[in-house]
Structure 1
Amino acid sequence: MTKKPLIISTDPGIDDVAAMTISLFSKELDVKMIVPTWGNVPLKYTLQNTLNLEKFLGTTVPVVVGANQPLVAPAISAASVHGKTGIAGFELPEADNSLVKSGLAATLMYEEIMSSPEKVTLMGIGPLTDYALLLKQYPDVVKNIEEFVIMGGNIGRGNHSPLAEYNIAGDPEAASVVFNSGVLVKVAPLEIGNKAHVTQKQMAEIKKHGKVGDMLYSMFSNIHEPDGDTRIKIFDPTAVGIMLHPEFFTMKKARVDIELTGRFTYGATSMDFLNEETNALIATDVDVDKFAGWFIDSVELAEQGQK
């Protein structure tokens, strides 16, 4: 089986850790590069969290230092949800910088994408700053990008502001660049992350899957949702889900635009399902049982990869 070449832009973040872990041990994916960016917490933490996770997992995928701030707006933070360093509840081993590949993220991504014999998929599970810089600096790169797959945006209400989801609100201008790139964008929006979850019983099962299961159990047990919801919601892995198992989801075509000027709507995602000039595929529903089963199986697969 030919593996799908993948670059991950991420801001770990607890659910980012889960998405990266699944991706790194997936039989369908060949992760070429991980680009930590600012997002849930500042870059110095997301970079170190990425390196620490790879040391913990024993993987050696190159890490490229991404953006340390949005294109235009001031940076926001989700430290209240994920902890000051982005990862609460589990102590990963401290890693050195040996996996860090020196150079500008846009240039290194461009070189990787253009040298690939197959088109490369770009997954964004944080603000899309680095992908926007890539597209602006090297516009010809689009011909060798298979698709963007993101966790972000919202059909209805937001979680950062009344009408904006956190990842898009973090860098609305960057998101606008990605959606207007001419490359198909597959979207797992906020609503899917709110619905896709595992139960406390299922999380207890995950805990039994060796050191990987124990890590994820400990981290997810320390997420503090602003709304007090006690369900264990699995946001960023939904991006991996729509990429590998679209059959778990209801996917609908839409025209997506990002609000960049509104006083109360800045960062809102306009998903127009009636516009025929579509640029995105939006997950509008998910089979929760199938998703949860796949998530648990993926954790077990990652643990087996440790042995």
Structure 2
Amino acid sequence: MPVPVILDCDPGHDDAFNILLAAAHPAIDLLAITTVAGNQTLEKTTLNARRVCAAAGVRGVPIAAGRDRPLHGPRRIAEDIHGASGLDGPGFAQGEPDVPLDPRDAVTLVRDVLLARPEPVTLVPTGPLTNIAVLLLAHPELAGRIERIVLMGGSTDRGNTTPAAEFNILCDPEAADIVFRSGVPVTMFGLNATHQARATPEVVARIAELGTPLSALCVDLLTYFATTYREVFGFDAPPLHDPLTVAHLIDPSLVTVVRAAVAVELNGTHTRGATLVDLHGVTGRPADVEVGMEVDTEGFWDLIVEAVRTLGGRGTTS
């Protein structure tokens, strides 16, 4: 049976590919997409989710806007990586995409989906964890309706926004702390894993060879993403962070995981937003989080290319 999934995202170049993968693969039943401020403002990330769905012909999946700022502290965006639109690179048409915005807010949409389903649902957040934390705070009775939370964020090593902290967690450390301590099973794919999934020129060529409007859009996305990752981080190819979450749900063998205790630093002068991953059990805390470690990159990219092939040219670039 397909895994019932709600994506919570902040598109974002890598989020865009995660939407494509979740929409294309028969192992995933994509129930809803919710958006959060992160890579860009909420207005822009929500528009981008609708643009990606329109371009890929993904219709009938409700999209709802969520929180426009973290629980505490100032809002961050990643314009240096994702550009002024949050999805710079492709030439999206001006005007409204033909994929509508659901009138409900994100938390209400997730609540309604959880209550409507006969079986628990997997939440896949790939941006700041604000929406998920608000859901858990507002509706603790729904925790049992969540099968697991499979997230992109954190790292077992260093950060990418500060030396200690990864962007998604740093955007809202308090929300991340709530999620990790919620008691809902959590699987974390951090930078230590996602940096292995790099879109090399060979990968981009495979996508270009598909020869569809959607593949051309994907090439534009990856080309822009490669430029900013080279300029900001010195990477020779950009890592496609977020789709590791859905790839893991499709084929758990693609990423090896270990169990470890994970804590989020809330107060450190230099370490706020860091994920402290106890790989060696030195804290004595329960090893209650699955942490992604080694990635089968060839298998991962096979899934991405096949998703772009499957969705083909069904949509528009509006």
Q: Which TM-score applies when normalising by structure 2?
A: 0.92
Corresponding residue SS for 1:163: coil
Matched, 1:284 2:254: no
| 195-204 vs 43-52, greater mean Cα deviation | 195-204
Change in Cα spacing, 1:195 to 1:79, as seen in structure 2 (3 Å) is same
Higher alpha-carbon deviation: 277-286 or 163-172: 277-286
Using the TM superposition, give the Cα deviation of residue 296 of structure 1 relative to its aligned residue in structure 2, in angstroms.
Answer: 1.9
**Equivalent pair of 1:197/1:292 in contact (CA under 8 Å):** no
Amino acid at match of 1:238: L
Report what 2:219 is aligned to: 217
Classify the secondary structure of the residue corresponding to 2:244. helix
| SS at structure 1 position matched to 2:88 | coil
Cα distance, 1:276 vs. partner? 5.5
- Asked if the contact 1:188/1:242 (under 8 Å) is kept, the reply is no
Change (3 A) 1:263 1:184: same
Does structure 2 retain, via aligned residues, the 8 Å contact 1:198–1:231? yes
Q: Structure 1 vs Structure 2: percent identity of aligned residues? A: 30
Equivalent residue for 2:306, pick from 294, 297, 302? 297
Partner SS for 2:256 = strand
SS at match of 1:12: coil
Once the two structures are TM-superposed, the CA of residue 98 in structure 1 deviates from its matched residue by 5.9
Show the counterpart of 2:144: 143
| Separation (CA, whole Å) in 1 of partners of 2:99 and 2:255 | 39
- Tell me by how many angstroms 1:278 deviates: 2.2
Question: Could you tell me how far apart the structure 1 residues matched to 2:314 and 2:183 are?
Answer: 37
Question: Is 1:252 paired with 2:263?
Answer: no
In the superposition, relative to structure 1, how do residues 145 and 105 fare at CA in structure 2: closer, same or farther (>3 Å)?
A: same
Describe the superposition over 1:245-270 as per-residue Cα deviations: whole angstroms up to 9, x where unpaired: 22011110011111001111100001
Amino acid at match of 2:37: W
Partner SS, residue 232 of structure 1: coil
Deviation at 1:97, TM superposition (A): 7.7
Q: What is the distance in 2 between the residues matched to 1:217 and 1:172?
A: 33
In the alignment, what sits opposite 1:81? 81
Give matches, 1:191-202, under 5 Å: 191-202=192-203
CA contact (8 A) 2:196 2:297 kept: yes
The match for 2:208 is 207
Give the counterpart of 2:275 among 266, 269, 273: 269
State the match for 1:36 in structure 2: 35
Please name the residue that 1:175 is paired with.
176
1:103 CA drift (Å): 2.6
Distance 1:132 1:222 in 2: 32
Distance 2:97 2:86 in 1: 18
* Deviation of the 1:242 alpha carbon: 1.9
- 2:131 aligned with 1:122: no
Q: Distance in 1 between matches of 2:96 and 2:119?
A: 32
- Deviation, structure 1 residue 198: 3.2
In 2, distance between residues paired with 1:239 and 1:287? 13
Partner residue, 1:65 = 65
Query: For the residues of structure 2 that align with 1:232 and 1:299, how far apart are their CA atoms?
Result: 18
TM-score by length of 1: 0.95
Displacement after TM superposition at 1:44 (Å):
1.0
Give the 3-state SS of the residue equivalent to 1:106 in structure 2. Answer: helix
Is this contact kept in 1: 2:57–2:314, CA < 8 A? no
3-state SS of the aligned residue for 2:224?
Answer: coil
* 1:20-42 alpha-carbon deviations (Å, 9 max, x no partner): 11111111111111111100010
Unaligned runs of 5+ in 2: none
Structure 1 unaligned blocks of 5 or more? none
- C-alpha separation between the residues in 2 aligned to 1:35 and 1:200? 31
